[in-house]
Amino acid sequence: MARATRPIPELYEAARAGERRALGRLLTKVERGGAEADQISELAHPDAGNAHIVGITGAPGAGKSTLVSRLVTDLVAAGRRPAVLAVDPSSPLTGGAILGDRIRIDEGNDPGEGRRSFIRSMATRGHSGGLALAVPLAVRLFDAVGYDPVIIETVGVGQVEVDVVGAADTAVVVMTPGMGDAVQANKAGLLEVADLFVVNKADRPGADDVRRDLSLMLDLSHMTGQESDTGYRPPIVMASALNGDGHGDVWTAVDAHLAHLDDTDTRSARRRHRIRTEVRARLLQAMSDAADHEMSSPSGTEWLSKAERAEIAPTHATDQLLEQLLQPTEETS
Ligand SMILES: Nc1nc2c(ncn2[C@@H]2O[C@H](COP(=O)(O)OP(=O)(O)O)[C@@H](O)[C@H]2O)c(=O)[nH]1
Ligand SMILES: [Mg+2]
């Protein structure tokens, strides 16, 4: 089966030519990480840089996937080619009502042109390190093969998720009534990274309270100078993704934010920030791997057991390991 073992550059060219299967294979490799993922990133790099990257975050159950489905339908209808990377394990886009929407979206496209949207759920395998590495690569790949916009859906709980969304061109934070979401978002640092707020489930009571709370918090952050750099105040858009209300306004605000980035010449700053975030994540991962490797090396094991037997202090053992770690050695193994 020659197909099964197609080399990566061939898969990449096929994906660029619109072959969905090839793109799917590449995404699986990106997810796994390692040398093949790096090779894909290097291939994609020169072709990437055209897509509007939009991060959408919020608590589990806020309605992110429902909203994303609506946006994808709109974007396809408008002739765009949206890709979605869903790193939200709580409601994968492969399930339930969302799947129904998706089939409809895909079937609604001209089969001769192939499907216009590509939706992919990314397994996080329970460790956030993998996520921080795989997401930028998957986004780059979507961008390089011609998808625009690239939407990342992620739960806004951990630092990695906040980082991922904060590194997008446009960061959308989804809130809902009655969960103290505005306060939670503030705690999670989402107020700082948000370019746009969506109060979803506006069909439910309390939506106006959320809008008011948010608005007050934005006033406060304005007073502390956060908006003063560019004069941009993140708008608050009311929506009911389930009922199909407000999603048009959401995308209008997303587009307006992109226009703001272009007007103020700050899109390149986002791009630089994204690269820094990616390089830092890779660096931290490499150092973490090196630390594990060092600890299981013969001399590392020795220093470690000395510390375990309380012959030396843990600080001493750490210093020794660090010295070995930072020293280029000829040791092979
Ligand atoms: N009442 C109401 N329910 C909604 C709305 N949007 C989504 N939901 C429901 O909220 C639940 C979670 O939605 P989902 O899109 O999976 O949320 P996610 O975890 O943020 O991706 C589902 O049962 C949706 O049908 C809305 O605007 N109003
Ligand atoms: Mg979801």
In a domain, residue 8? The reply is no
Residue 100 within a domain = yes
Do residues 200 and 176 lie in contact, with contact meaning Cβ atoms separated by under 8 Å? Answer: yes
Residue 80 lies in a domain: yes
Mutate to test the pocket of ligand 1, among 242, 243, 250 (most ligand atoms within 8 A of CB): 242
The pLDDT tens digits of the residues spanning 37-74 come to 999 999 999 999 999 999 999 888 899 999 999 999 99
- Of the pLDDT bands very low, low, confident and very high (cuts 50, 70, 90), residue 225 is low
CATH of residue 57: 3.40.50.300
In a domain, 204, yes or no: yes
Give me the number of domains the chain comprises.
1
Whether 200 shows a pLDDT value over 60: the answer reads yes
Nearest CA to ligand 1 atom 28: 201
Range of the domain at 242: 14-264
Strand partners, 197: 173, 236
In a domain, 324, yes or no: no
> Under 8 Å CB-to-CB from 182, ≥6 apart: which residues?
175, 210, 213, 214, 217
User: How high does pLDDT run on average in the chain?
Assistant: 84
Check if the beta carbon of residue 106 is closer than 8 Å to that of residue 115. yes
Instruction: Decide: 294 and 321 in contact? Cβ < 8 Å.
Output: yes
**Judging by DSSP bridges, how do beta strands 196-199 and 170-175 pair with one another?**
parallel
Residues near ligand 1 (Cβ within 6 A): 58, 60-66, 88, 90-91, 200-201, 203-204, 240-242
Which residues share a beta bridge with 81? 148
Please say if the pLDDT value at position 137 is more than 60: yes
> Is there a domain that residue 323 lies in?
no
Q: State which amino acid sits at residue 137.
A: L
Tokens of 72: 């994808």
Strand-pairing partners, residue 154, are: 57, 87
Residue 278 lies in a domain: no
Does 233 reside within a domain? Answer: yes
What is the pTM assigned to this prediction? 0.87
